[in-house]
Structure 1
Amino acid sequence: MNARTGRDARLPLALALAFAATSLPLQALGLAVSVHLPAYFASTIGLELAVVGAAFGLVRMIDVPIEPALGLAMDRTTTRWGRYRFWTLLGAPFVMIGLFMLLQADESVGIGGLMTWLLVMYLGTSILLLSHAAWASTLAKSYDDRARLFGVMTAVGVVGAVGVLLIPIVMEQMGYTDAEGVRAMIWSLIVLAPVAVAIVVWRTPETVMPDAPGARFRLRDYVELVFDRNMFRIIVADLALGMGPGWMAALYLFYSRDYMGFTSGQANILLLLYILAGIVGAPSLAWLATRISKHRAVIVAAVAYSLFVLTLPFLPKGNLLAAAPTLFFTGFMAASFNVLTRAMTADVADEMRLRQGKERGGLLYALTTLTNKIAAGVGIWLTFLVLDQTGYDPKLASGNSPESVQALMLVFLAGPIVFVSLGAFSLLGYGLTPARAAETRRQLEAREAALLAGAGVESLTGEEHPPPRQA
């Protein structure tokens, strides 16, 4: 292994692609929940903007204690099926049940019913996201290979998001309504989730390493995770980088239709282009991270993203071709945010394992997944609340006053630019360099080799440690 960069044997591409299958339904679901479901409940089902925003926001707040509990449970799980494989199998049924019950909702559902089934769906999503990311951090072991694997996962996820987005576009051309297109999207996710999970569980090995001798549960260890110099920067960056695109996604359909003058089909085509850009953007920026480091690549992408968003109101209205390049490059940059912060979290997980002697990957990814959920929930709640105060009414569409439409545009732009810029700023001073990550891996591998051989273990505790199990 290269001492400066941590380069060693790459994961075979076929294995990386098979493992990435879980990303297919997860990114497709993220798109449907952030863009289509809020608008569906507000416009089609007829719930008030404030009710829809509050339901999505409150459910994400309920997730706050659930996420760390899930992460802690995952890190302490040992079964005959492995650690993260077991949780991957557990997550899919919750997603399927939650989505199915949301399909049954009508105008009588109320905020309680909406929150209940959103919570079930989000619980399944949390389990799948956490287990997938934590499993990835143990599958790819070097600084560079983690960037590549998370890049592959994001690119595969983009394929899932594009596939689900094509459904309403094609159905509109066939004469179906927007509501029928959204319902078809949800049905496709109900079918896709168990298929993707089956591929991952079938094709991906999992090695569960033993804890270091003497390692035990201590509350201060978990406080240290949050306030670690590098992890705290990742948490703040992840929250801000999630808030920006989440804010924009919540208002995208309204902005495209009522300010830019696009039809629903045209808006979905542009959204498709934005998402497709991630197939190129995620691996490209993951490659850039291997040249200038991960945190610097995030900063570059965040600054470029903010500049592209700033140009959106200057595009000619109703001109699909004029808007296409800006949407593409905005999506290109946005694709790197989760890719690189997740790969950075894997490096921190190595440091914590070396320092504390126990696996903390699940809990660390719970913190970053939690920030994304807070960002998405608060983004929907806050943007809908602010928009409601401007007098804009989504049911009026083009019937809104010019002042309300102008306010829509300002609200649409403000969040992405402010929050994504904050995300870039928070990573200044990040200290986990490629060389430091490589040295951490070297020490971990030496300790794990000692555990396997039984060397040095008895001198520390007088106890033998079991070898790692591969499920």
Structure 2
Amino acid sequence: MTATPSRPHERLSLGLALAFAATSLPLSALGLAAAVHLPSYFAANIGVPLTVVGAAFALVRFIDVPIEPALGIAMDRTRTRFGRYRLWTVLGAPLMMLGLYMLLIADQGVGQGYLIGWLLVMYLGVSVLTLSHAAWASTLAKTYDDRARIFGVMTAVGVLGAVSVLLIPIVMEQMGYPEAQGVRAMIWYLIFLAPIAVAIVVFRTPETIMAEAPGQRFQFREYLDLIIDPSMRRILLADFALSLGPGWMAALYLFFSRDAMGFTSAQANILLAIYILAGVVGAPSLAWLATKISKHRAVMVACVVYTSVLVSLAFLPRGNVLAAIPTMFLTGFMAAGFGVLTRAMTADVADEVRLKQGKERGGLLYALTVLTSKIAAGGSIFLTFTVLDQVGYDPKIGDANSPEAIQALMYCFLAGPILFVGFGAICLIGYKLSAERAAEVRRLLDERDAGVA
């Protein structure tokens, strides 16, 4: 863990990339559970009103606004013999596990304060793990193409984690357990998976603390420059939109699939598994495409295909699972590339910023992207649940809702993802940090790092 320069064209081995990606298993699994199952669980099984659930999830994300950048700054300024991001990875897992356990034991009549408090603890642990993992990846992979590959591997491994947690309610339903028991089993699974995954990363992955130019002082202006940087500004806007669109879809998925499409809970989860499993192919495929046409253009291609295919859900026959499979697979394939490529693009910006400022800012940059994703996720739950409540949709009575409420559910489910994902593509028009520019920045950094060392 020394400040030594790396060979500029060194490529990570697949084994190392897979070991490092282990943190993605619990993070992606929890992301799915929190986006799809936990809100509906508290609304339909614990009896918390829709608006209260939506407000709780949204408020926690907005509380994260000052916390995320503070964590990023703290990580960037951490220098220990144990490592920089390795230390924070170890600290994040217990927080996430504690929050999950306290949500697990919530019973009927739990209030908004309880939800907000323990969701905040859970998401604080998630933030620490997510930031340290992404920032660590940006220092582990040094080249433009290698970063696309490692984030592709991380996403593919995360897909396996998401599918594994999704199988739990499917299997338990087949065994005759109620839906609530399936959600509780998912939470127990996450509590046991987190420390195992973190241990694999911590003990199998090397960490190099990047060299910093001497004589540099802290200046608040440097942090403001990160936000107004032309490349980073586009990434943040695109990342917000590309998180809000699928997050909107996830918040309504169980209600839409059961009440508007006529699927059983098991069928809905099987289709969701197909959507997620498509990411195993989609993430590395779009990462490969990024090495051919550049990362931002690959994102734009994925956005166009995603929105075009999603429209077909409105015309599928009710209750026909086979007819829905191609749509779910293709949208999942494309959506897997959103986070992969915007995170890989952020790593390139981190290099450019370190060249300009002489300081490591990867943690803060990833804090900004994670923050936009969290705000989008919380906002999607709040907005969609509020709209459904206003149109008279009641999750407790399911398909017994009025035809008008069911139709409003369908319109709401489709409009959000199409609108926001399309806007995400527009944000990246004119993006300037190309592969050639990233390679030049990397060359200059290697020369300077050699001199500092």
TM-score range, shorter chain: over 0.9
Structure 1 Cα separation of the partners of residues 32 and 272 of structure 2: 10
Structure 2 Cα separation of the partners of residues 216 and 409 of structure 1: 54
Structure 1 Cα separation of the partners of residues 399 and 231 of structure 2: 47
**Match of 1:410?**
411
Q: Deviations over 1:283-323 (max 9, x none)?
A: 00000000000000000001111111111111111011110
Structure 2 Cα separation of the partners of residues 154 and 366 of structure 1: 18
* 5+ residue gaps, structure 1: 1-5, 453-471
**Match of 2:33?**
32
Matches within 5 A, 1:58-457: 58-452=59-453
User: How many angstroms does 1:383 deviate by?
Assistant: 0.6
Structure 2 Cα separation of the partners of residues 443 and 235 of structure 1: 26
Q: Deviations over 1:330-350 (max 9, x none)?
A: 000000000000000000000
1:12 matches 2:9: no
Structure 2 Cα separation of the partners of residues 285 and 187 of structure 1: 33
Give the direction of change, closer, same or farther, for the CA distance of 1:7–1:320 in structure 2 (3 Å limit).
farther
Structure 1 Cα separation of the partners of residues 326 and 385 of structure 2: 28
Letter of the structure 2 residue corresponding to residue 13 of structure 1: L
User: How many angstroms does 1:38 deviate by?
Assistant: 0.1
Letter of the structure 2 residue corresponding to residue 339 of structure 1: V
Q: Is the 8 A contact 1:172 1:181 kept in 2?
A: yes
Structure 2 Cα separation of the partners of residues 373 and 418 of structure 1: 19
User: How many angstroms does 1:421 deviate by?
Assistant: 0.4
Q: Deviations over 1:4-38 (max 9, x none)?
A: xx982310100000000000000000000000000
Q: Is the 8 A contact 1:96 1:193 kept in 2?
A: yes
Q: Is the 8 A contact 2:235 2:428 kept in 1?
A: yes
Structure 2 Cα separation of the partners of residues 184 and 243 of structure 1: 27
**Match of 1:460?**
none
Q: Deviations over 1:147-175 (max 9, x none)?
A: 00000000000000000000000111111
- SS of residue matched to 2:211: coil
Q: Is the 8 A contact 1:7 1:145 kept in 2?
A: no
Q: Is the 8 A contact 1:15 1:203 kept in 2?
A: yes
Letter of the structure 1 residue corresponding to residue 431 of structure 2: Y
**Match of 1:47?**
48
**C-alpha root-mean-square deviation of aligned residues, in Å?**
0.8
Q: Deviations over 1:165-186 (max 9, x none)?
A: 0000011111111000000000
Q: Deviations over 1:409-462 (max 9, x none)?
A: 00111110000000000000100000000000000000000111xxxxxxxxxx
Structure 2 Cα separation of the partners of residues 183 and 215 of structure 1: 50
Q: Is the 8 A contact 1:7 1:143 kept in 2?
A: no
User: How many angstroms does 1:269 deviate by?
Assistant: 0.2
Letter of the structure 2 residue corresponding to residue 362 of structure 1: G
Structure 2 Cα separation of the partners of residues 420 and 200 of structure 1: 32
Kindly tell me the number of residue pairs found equivalent between the two proteins. Answer: 447
Q: Is the 8 A contact 2:21 2:154 kept in 1?
A: yes
Structure 2 Cα separation of the partners of residues 122 and 308 of structure 1: 32
Range with greater deviation from structure 2 (207-216 or 137-146): 207-216
User: How many angstroms does 1:109 deviate by?
Assistant: 1.5
Letter of the structure 2 residue corresponding to residue 409 of structure 1: M
User: How many angstroms does 1:107 deviate by?
Assistant: 2.3
Structure 2 Cα separation of the partners of residues 430 and 217 of structure 1: 29
Give the direction of change, closer, same or farther, for the CA distance of 1:279–1:138 in structure 2 (3 Å limit).
same
* 5+ residue gaps, structure 2: 1-6
Q: Deviations over 1:24-68 (max 9, x none)?
A: 000000000000000000000011000000000000000000000
User: How many angstroms does 1:360 deviate by?
Assistant: 0.1
Structure 1 Cα separation of the partners of residues 160 and 231 of structure 2: 32
**Match of 2:4?**
none
Structure 1 Cα separation of the partners of residues 218 and 102 of structure 2: 39
Structure 1 Cα separation of the partners of residues 107 and 386 of structure 2: 22
> Identity across aligned pairs (percent)?
72
User: How many angstroms does 1:209 deviate by?
Assistant: 2.0
Q: Is the 8 A contact 2:212 2:449 kept in 1?
A: no
Q: Is the 8 A contact 1:289 1:296 kept in 2?
A: yes
- SS of residue matched to 1:311: helix
Q: Is the 8 A contact 1:7 1:144 kept in 2?
A: no
Q: Is the 8 A contact 2:139 2:210 kept in 1?
A: no
User: How many angstroms does 1:84 deviate by?
Assistant: 0.1
**Match of 2:22?**
21
**Match of 1:468?**
none
Structure 2 Cα separation of the partners of residues 148 and 211 of structure 1: 26
Structure 2 Cα separation of the partners of residues 177 and 307 of structure 1: 36
